[in-house]
Structure 1
Amino acid sequence: MDTGCRDNADHSCSEKGNRLVHTNQRATHNKDREAAPRLPESVLGPSKTAAAERIAHARTNFLVDEPVEPGIVRAPILASWTRSRQYEVPADHLDLPFESDCDPDSPLTRAAKPIVREVSDQLAGEPVSVILCDDEGVVLERRTGDTALNQHLDRVWLAPGFSYAERYVGTNGIGTALEGRGPAQVFGHEHYVEHLEDLACAGAPIRHPVNGKLLGVIDLTCWRREANRMMMAAASTIARRIEETLLEQSGRRELALLHDYLAACQRNRGAVFALSEDLLMMNDRARELLDPGDQVPLLASAAEALATGRRRQLTVDLPSGAIARVQCRPSWTEGGLSGGVLQVQLVSGDAGPLRSAVLPHPSSLPATVGSGPLWAKCCQAVDRHFQSREWVVLEGEPGTGKRTLARATHQLRSPAAHLRVLDAGDYGPRWIAEVIEELETGAGGTLVLCHLDRLSAEGVQALGDALEPHRESTAPQRPWVVATADRSRAHASRELAELLDLFPRTVEVPPLRHHVEDVAELVPHLIARLTRGADLTCSPDAMRVLMRNRWPGNVEQLHQVLRKIVAKKRTGRITPADLPPECRAITRRVLTPLEAIECDAIVDALLDADGNKAEAARNLGMSRATIYRKIRGYGISMPTVAECGRSG
Structure 2
Amino acid sequence: MSTDLHRHPHWSGIVTSNFDANLTQAIKEDFLGSTVPQEIRNIGLVESWQRSQAALGAPGNVGPVPHVPEALLDEHLLAMLGAPMNRFAEDLEGTGLALLLADSRGQILQRWSEDRQSRSHLDRVGTVRGAVLAENVVGTNGVGTVVATGASVQIRGTEHFADMYQDAVCTGAPVLHPITRKLLAVITLSCDMTPRSDLLKPLVKSLTAQLEQHLMSVEQPGAREMFSVFLDLSRKQNSPVVAFGPQGALIQSSTAHQLNAHDMNLLRSLGQEDRPSGRYLVELSSGLTQLDLTMVGQGNNVVVVGAQAARKTPSRPTPPAPRMAGRSPEWLAVVNHIDKLRSLNTPVILVGETGVGKTSLALGIPYKAGTVPGSMTLIDAAERHIVGTRQWLGRVIEATQARTEIVIRGIETLDKPALDGLRSLLDTRQPTAPLLLTLTADSLTDAEQFERRFDVKSVWIPPLRDRTDDLPDLWRTLADAVAPSAKLELTDRTKELLRAYSWPGNVKELRQLIIGLAARGKSGAIQPTDLPTPMQSAKTLTLIERMELEAIRKALQQASGNRVKAADILGISRATVYRKMKAYRLGT
TM bucket by the smaller chain?
Answer: 0.3 to 0.5
Q: Normalising by structure 1, report the TM-score.
A: 0.34
Q: Normalising by structure 2, report the TM-score.
A: 0.37
